[in-house]
Structure 1
Amino acid sequence: MPDTQETDASTSRPADLGSTSAIGRRLKAYYDDVASEPVPDRFMSLLDALDAAEAKSKPREGN
């Protein structure tokens, strides 16, 4: 029977973090660019409609 060893994925680490660090920096820069873009008008309209629907469905206090 072959001898198998289980490895704990949470403790295994890549030997060289240079390439993953570069990838991480580029992903963060890309995310920052996307996050700084304005919210499209159509999406804002949908959010406003959702807020209005939620306000209608909530019971009013004092009634």
Structure 2
Amino acid sequence: MKTFDLKSAGLSPLTPEEERNISGGFWIQILGGAIAVAVGTVVRDWDNFKAGLAGQPERIK
């Protein structure tokens, strides 16, 4: 079985700083989660969202 050697291919492992830059870091994940929660909340209460945009009072279910 052959193994792949990074050094023979002229490659080197990423440093922790490089890994953070590639993955977008912690704050991008937090922002993505907040956006997902906001979209979920709007979708679950779509009728009140539309009413709010139109300046109408809250619709009680």
Which structure's CA Rg is the greater one? 1
TM-score of the alignment, normalized to the shorter chain, above 0.5:
no
TM-score (norm 2): 0.36
TM-score (norm 1): 0.35
Larger helix proportion of the pair: 2
Higher RCO structure (Cα 8 Å, ≥6 apart): 2
